[in-house]
Every structure is written in C-alpha cells, then in structure tokens.
Amino acid sequence: MTDDIHIRLDQPKVIRRELLESALYSSEFLQVMQRIQTFEQERLQLKDEFRRAMTDLTTATNQFLKSIPPLPMEFIQKQQQMLQRQMMQQPLKVLTPRQELASRFQQQQTAAPAFKNPLEEEIDELRRKIQNLSL
C-alpha cells in the first residue's frame, strides 16, 4: 500500500544539479577523510615497525659488540686513515627524511591505480551527471 507523491517544481534541472553537486562535494569529502584515516593507520603501523626494528637493531648491536674480540690500536688508526681518504675521494649523498618522503610520494603518484574504489566511481558518476545536465 505505497502511495506515490509527485510534486511539481519550478526549474527542476537547477535543483537536481544542486543536489548532485552537494552529493559530489560530500563524496569528495568522504574520500579525503578515508585518505586521512589510511595515512594515520600507515603512520602508526610504520611507527610500530620502526620501534621494533630499532629494538632488534639495538639487541643485535649489543650482541655483536660483546662477541667481537678487541682490536689493536694500530689497526684501528690505519682503518680510520683509509676511511678518511675514501671519504675525501667520494662525497656521500645522504637524503634527509623529508627528501626521502618526497621521493616516495612522487613514486606513489606516478603509479596509477589499477582499479577505482566505489567512492571514486561514485564521484565520477556524479560529475558525469552534472555535465549532462549542463548540456
């Protein structure tokens, strides 16, 4: 027992376009929120992974230092001199954390996604409908 109700509106295309545009803005906002959530999850995951790696590195370094025999001072001095010569011949290129993140971000942006998630498909569909209304 469903009754259909019809209402006559003046300028229905304008109202429909405004509704579609507001749906588009809402979908884009949801997409941004999802990106923020994934970035936060990635950040926390990387932070935990970094902490685990640092503790593993610290324990491995301590075990290594305990297991090696002491070296004679003459050998250490010769090694330091050789290292200094090599450093003068070949300058090191060290990336700062910001530069490393920027290069990673550029690599991620160049790779196009193989598929679109449902939210992106909805946004594309809303844009297409808005374009069709303006024609």
Query: 58-81, pLDDT tens digit by residue?
Result: 999 999 988 988 777 888 888 888
Predicted confidence at residue 22, as pLDDT, reads 92
Is the pTM for the entire model greater than 0.85?
no
Question: How many angstroms separate the CA atoms of 66 and 60, rounded?
Answer: 10
Confidence of residue 27 (pLDDT cuts 50, 70, 90): very high
Predicted confidence at residue 111, as pLDDT, reads 59
Predicted confidence at residue 119, as pLDDT, reads 84
Question: How many angstroms separate the CA atoms of 47 and 30, rounded?
Answer: 25
118 versus 92: which is more confidently predicted? 118
Quick count: other Cβ atoms within 10 Å of Cβ 20? Answer: 18
Predicted confidence at residue 40, as pLDDT, reads 96
Backbone angle region of 11, left / alpha / beta, with phi > 0 → left and psi within -120 to 50 → alpha: left
- Written as six digits, the tokens of 86 are 């090599």
Domain ranges of the chain: 12-90+119-134
Confidence of residue 17 (pLDDT cuts 50, 70, 90): confident
Predicted confidence at residue 37, as pLDDT, reads 96
**CA-to-CA dists, residue 33 to 21, 26, 27, angstroms:** 18, 10, 10
